[in-house]
Every structure is written in C-alpha cells, then in structure tokens.
Structure 1
Amino acid sequence: MSNDRSLKDACVERSATVREALLAIDRGASSVALVIDESRHLLGIVTDGDVRRALLAGAGLESTVIDFVNANPKVVNPSTSRAAVIDLMRSIRISEVPVVDDDGVLVGLQTLTDIVGKPKLPNVALIMAGGKGTRLGSLTKETPKPLMKVADRTIIEWVLLGLVESGITRVYISVAHLAQKIIDHLGDGEQLGCRISYIHEDPERPLNTAGALGLLHREAPEISEPVIVTNADLMVHYSAADFLRFHRHHGAALTVAARPYNHQVPFGVLEISSDRSVTGVVEKPNIEFEISSGIYAVSPETLAMVPYREPYSMPDLIDACIRGGKRVSAWPMLSDWIDVGTPKDLAAAKGQ
C-alpha cells in the first residue's frame, strides 16, 4: 500500500483544476488522482483516461476537476487481503484501488505494483497440475481438475493468488492432462500478479508426485533458493514465508507441511495380549495422525536427487533423503485445508 507521502501526492481537493489533477497523477506515479474533502473523506477518483476524455470534450486545464470525478469508485477496507485486492483488480481491469475505513476516510491506495512487489521472496514455486483427476469421474473428462471452479474462480487460481499474497511471483506449473486448457486459461500469469512458465510431462507416461522436480532441475538449474512445491487441487491459506523460514531454521533438505488428521474407528477396538487374551476394549476410539498436506519446501540440492523423466514419488524422495542422512522436517500447518479429490470434496470447497 502507498506510504503517507505518496498518498498525499496523489490527492487533490474538491476545488482542484484539471491541471492540478494531472500534476497529482504525475506525482503519485499512478494513473489516478484521489479527490478528498477537508476531512479526508474520499469524494471520488479521476483517472488519466477521465482527464483525456474531458479535454477532448472541450474542458480546459483550468476547469474544475470535480465535474469529471467518478464518485462511486471501487474501494477496499484496510483489512482486505492482498489476494482479494488482486481478485478485484483483475475482475474489473484496474491497477489501483483506494483504501478507505468504515467512515469513508481515505487511508491508502493499493496498486498492483505494490501488491506483487512486496513482500517479494526470492523463491519460486512449482505447482503440480498434470494429474487426470480420475476420482472426480466425468467432471474431469473435458476439464482438468485444477480448472474446477470454487467461488467463481478456478482452484489453481486460488493456489496462485495465495502464493502471490505470500510474496512468491515466479511460478512453474507442471502440466500433462489437458495441458493446453490450463495454459490457455492462465497464460503468462500477469493478470494474477505473477510470471508463469510451464513444464510439460508426457500424458502417457505420468511422472508421479515428484517426477516434475527432475524436470525443474534440468530446465531451471539456476535455482538457488528452496522451492515451494504444491499440488494444484488444494484449497488452503498459509504463509509461504513462514513455511520457508521454518525450513531454513531447521536446515532441512525437504520440509513437509503437516496437518492433524483425526479418524474415529467406528467399532470397539480390542486390546489383545500375546496369548490372545482380551485385556480390554476401547469403544470407537479417536486416532490422531499428522498427514502430508501436499505442500513441500525443497532445497535446491534435493532437486538433483530426482531422476530426469522417470516416475518418482514424494515418499520416494523423502525416503531417499532420510537414507542419505539428510534432514526432513515437518512444519505444523493448522489452517483449514481441503484436498479437492472427489465430488464430495469439491462440494465441501464450494460450501455445499
């Protein structure tokens, strides 16, 4: 969000002229001037396009700009997340949005450059989007699972927006099944605030859950920071910065984002001794595990352990690290998490 000085530079009063609005646009290094009253209530905005159209319609540089103000601009609250702001900007094709408090007082200006530029992490992410999504049945026959929609946005877009909100703007996506549909939908990622490159797997020879890391190592050997690896079918909100900080602190070769999973056994469980005597019974016990969430932090040297263009799974890679004396850590992730693998999961993600 803009700092106090740049925000002040972008503001003009109700009585300002077209010339003064143009100067504010130039000073603020954006495409809008913010029109406020003496109490800093936002009266509206004027874009460089508004000024251009006003001049073409016969207005002069000394005309009062209030006559050309958009009095009902899209605004956001100070608590609005970066992902939600990017979503708004993309939906109505704008690159700046004023921030106002509950009383309508201007407190900031969100710009696309600021949002995608800070806090920016040097790390890249790899999104695994090559699977066929067979558990979703006919739903994925013509549409790849990452393009299933939740709240009017595809699942993979939510994944990308979460990464961008965390500061990761360089993303690789591994594609195979219906790859071109994913590429056509996401493009180069500019509209989501990131830069996307695609890694192509052979749809007829799937590389399993970690094989794409071997492709990434071959295609981007310059990677020198840990990589966030995530499945493309996850609805979850977490801080990639916190995850990577944990990974570095523990000196891990690979870190798994782990979350609690509870399972209630629907039967009475017998406690049986070695001579087959029953020593007790526990009725419908609840068992808690920590499971892999499908999100990983992988150090650059670990990428080199994955064979090139050979099927390889994440459990294979974890086992190889452990056997090689490399540390594998588990980061506790407590946020809500849905692995959209079945129609029931998809309905849950949609709140149905």
Structure 2
Amino acid sequence: MKNVESVKLSPDATIRDALEIIDRGAMKIAVVVDEEGYLLGTITDGDIRRAILSGSNLDDTIEYIYFKSPTVIRPDTSRDAIINLCAINKIYQIPIVDETGRVIGIEILDRLLMPRQYPNKVILMVGGLGTRLRPLTENTPKPMLHVGGKPILHTIVERFASYGFTDIVMCVNYKSRMIKEYFGDGHRFGVHIEYVEEKERMGTAGALSLLPERPKDSFFVMNGDLLTSVNFEHMLEFHQANRATATMCVREYDFQVPFGVVNIEGAQIRSIVEKPVQRFFVNAGIYLLEPSCLDLVPKGQFYDMPTLFETLIEKDEKVVSFPLREYWLDIGRIEEYERANQEYDEVFDESEEK
C-alpha cells in the first residue's frame, strides 16, 4: 500500500503538473482528489497521451481528461481479490479508499506478484481447551479440527505465509503433541515454527511472557480458532502508518432487540422503537503489537489481551482499531464449526491456488 500524498492532484491542476508527478514517481499514476481528500478519479500517462493526440496542450487542466470511474479497493481487500481485479480490468494500480471514500493509498500489481518476506513474528495462541466444541475436542485440540479437509491451524499458517509472514511461534497447551507432530519445524509449509509450552493456561496474552526472545519488530498475535481472509500486509501497513503501539482487528456486530424498546424520562414515555438493531464493534482476536507492549505483560500469570489493551489505553498509548470487512469466523461452537465447513471452499479455495 504505497503512500499516496506525493501523487495527489486537484482537478484544476494542469496536464504538465500531472506529467511531472507521473514521471517522478514509481507508481506511474496520479490520483485526483477534492479539497477534503475524497477520490474523484485517476490519471495515467495513457490518459495524457490520448489528450495530447486530441489537441490538448500541457497547460490545459486535467478536468476533462482524468478517468472519473476508477476501480477502487478497501484497506482490508485480500491480495487475491486485488490481483483478480487487476486482471479483469487490465490495470496495474488501484487506489485504496477508506469507508468514507477518501483515498489513503495505492496498491501496485507488480508489488503483489513479487514474493515478499517480512521479519515480523506471528504469535498464534493455540492452547485452548475448546470445551464448547465437545465432543469434537475430547481427543483433538480445537485448532486441529478439520475445516475444508485440513486443520484450522493449517489454514491460518498458509494465510500468513501467503503474505510473507513466515516466522511463527505457537503457544501450546492442550494436547500440544498433536500440533507439534503435525507442523514440526514448519519447513513443509514454507515457514519456521517455534513452540512455547504453557504449563498452565495463561489467557490470550499471558503466554507472551514466555517468549524465548523479544521480537524486534511489530508482531502479530492471533487466536488459533479463527478463519479469516483479512489482508495481513494491509493490517501491518495500517498499524505502521498510524504509528500505533497496538492495533486490534474489530468486526461489526449487529444485534436486534426482540422487543419494542421504550424510552422513558421519569414516568413519562418519550418514544417507542420497535425491535431496534444495535450495532457494535467487537474484538476479532487478531492483533498487532509493538515490542514495548511486552513490558506490561506479567510474568507467568494468566492475562487476557483485552486487559493489555485497557492498560495501554490508561497509559495513553496509541491504540487503534483495524475494521475487518473480509470473511471472519470464530469457531467456538458446533454450529460455527459446521458453518465453517460449508463456507470454506467458497472463501479459501481461490486463494490457495495462487
């Protein structure tokens, strides 16, 4: 996700201005925005050449030549979806816009097609008992339950590896031998895997105090019972662009009150809202942390990730949310496990072919 500030233009900029930006940068594109940063369109060398052939000169404005209906993506669009959009539309750059339509970056096809390797560690919390999934978990740890013909944890490892995150630590506890025997050192999955053994269950953050060495870079922490198609590269870039100490992936959750809600003031009824829908953002169990966060995790104690975030907020650290709009499913109950198996092929087959 390339920084876009250097390639922004207003619609009253000249063709000469656009040429300077396009020739100066490696992105070979400029984005046209209004005064508040909302995307109006894009302009490329091809657009300029066609305009000149039609009689325009370099001091004319770009108002009538820039492309006003560009293909755009959101920050959480997956790598595979972006590549597909580029192929379908025969384009090599796609602006990234936020939920309001402001342009926040540009994705470049060549960059997506290049194999990348990131130094950032991935810490997977895979020691849970999975009591709500019994009897399925009586002999199998929850992350090793098969969805789509392979363990949930297998898919998680593949997803991180596909984005170039190959340095993985698994925090294990319940039936850890099964996990270690399946993954080994990770070489057959194209990753390197180490294990941290929790002698007692330590919560979603407590095991971080057991890491053999402190990460040098921002690092992911993720629960091992999730299936998601989130773009991990974009999440890292979002975290870094915000200079955050901690980033939490959040998911919008709708809840419909099954009754008419009565709003009262004293004894007087002011209004009645029939079965209103309440919307919340909920914790999606995927995090990015700076190494300094480890200073707040108590040694050898049960400690949950929400508690760590609350402490960071109290200390006035930069704590941000990354809205997740791609596929996400927390496999905590039998019905969610069954749903995951029904949806798996549609969501993940295409990405695993790349």
Measured against the shorter chain, the TM-score band is: 0.5 to 0.7
Contact map agreement 1:130 1:179 (CA 8 A) in 2: yes
CA distance in 2, matches of 1:299, 1:179: 27
Shift of 1:141: 0.8
Instruction: Report what 2:13 is aligned to.
Output: none
Instruction: Report what 2:230 is aligned to.
Output: 238
Residue 242 of structure 2: which of 220, 236, 250 is its match? 250
Q: Which amino acid aligns with 1:184?
A: E
Q: Which amino acid aligns with 1:317?
A: L
Shift of 1:116: 12
Structure 2 gaps, min length 5:
1-78, 82-86, 88-111, 344-354
Instruction: Report what 1:319 is aligned to.
Output: 310
Q: Is residue 2:213 matched to residue 1:213?
A: no
Instruction: Report what 1:151 is aligned to.
Output: 148
Shift of 1:147: 0.5
Distance 1:330 1:186, change over 3 A: same
SS across alignment from 1:296: strand
Instruction: Report what 1:125 is aligned to.
Output: 122
Instruction: Report what 1:309 is aligned to.
Output: 300
Alignment of structure 1 residues 146-225 onto 2, 5 Å? 146-202=143-199, 205-216=200-211, 219-221=212-214, 223-225=215-217
Contact map agreement 1:116 1:164 (CA 8 A) in 2: no
CA distance in 2, matches of 1:153, 1:116: 26
Corresponding pairs, count: 237
Alignment of structure 1 residues 272-351 onto 2, 5 Å? 272-273=264-265, 275-351=266-342
CA distance in 1, matches of 2:150, 2:337: 13
Shift of 1:117: 8.8
Q: Which amino acid aligns with 1:334?
A: R
SS across alignment from 2:208: helix
SS across alignment from 1:181: helix
Structure 1 gaps, min length 5:
1-79, 83-100, 102-114
CA distance in 2, matches of 1:192, 1:268: 53
SS across alignment from 1:123: strand
CA distance in 2, matches of 1:253, 1:182: 31
SS across alignment from 2:119: coil
CA distance in 2, matches of 1:116, 1:152: 27
TM-score (structure 2 length as normaliser) = 0.64
Contact map agreement 1:116 1:194 (CA 8 A) in 2: no
Q: Encode CA deviations 1:57-76: one digit per residue, 9 max, x unaligned.
A: xxxxxxxxxxxxxxxxxxxx
Q: Encode CA deviations 1:101-133: one digit per residue, 9 max, x unaligned.
A: 9xxxxxxxxxxxxx9992111101000000000
Instruction: Report what 1:269 is aligned to.
Output: 261
Alignment of structure 1 residues 85-164 onto 2, 5 Å? 118-164=115-161
CA distance in 2, matches of 1:305, 1:336: 32
Q: Which amino acid aligns with 1:313?
A: D
Contact map agreement 2:245 2:318 (CA 8 A) in 1: yes
Which entry has the higher C-alpha Rg, 1 or 2?
Answer: 1
SS across alignment from 1:302: helix
Please provide the CA RMSD for this pair: 2.2
SS across alignment from 2:238: helix
Q: Encode CA deviations 1:2-33: one digit per residue, 9 max, x unaligned.
A: xxxxxxxxxxxxxxxxxxxxxxxxxxxxxxxx
Q: Which amino acid aligns with 1:212?
A: A
CA distance in 2, matches of 1:287, 1:333: 18
CA distance in 2, matches of 1:278, 1:209: 44
Shift of 1:276: 2.8
SS across alignment from 1:304: helix
CA distance in 1, matches of 2:80, 2:189: 14
Q: Which amino acid aligns with 1:292?
A: N
CA distance in 1, matches of 2:134, 2:267: 44
Contact map agreement 2:230 2:327 (CA 8 A) in 1: no
CA distance in 1, matches of 2:234, 2:285: 17
CA distance in 2, matches of 1:176, 1:128: 9
Distance 1:148 1:117, change over 3 A: farther
Contact map agreement 2:121 2:169 (CA 8 A) in 1: yes
TM-score (structure 1 length as normaliser) = 0.65
CA distance in 2, matches of 1:295, 1:331: 9
Q: Which amino acid aligns with 2:202?
A: L
Q: Percent identity?
A: 32
Q: Which amino acid aligns with 1:172?
A: V
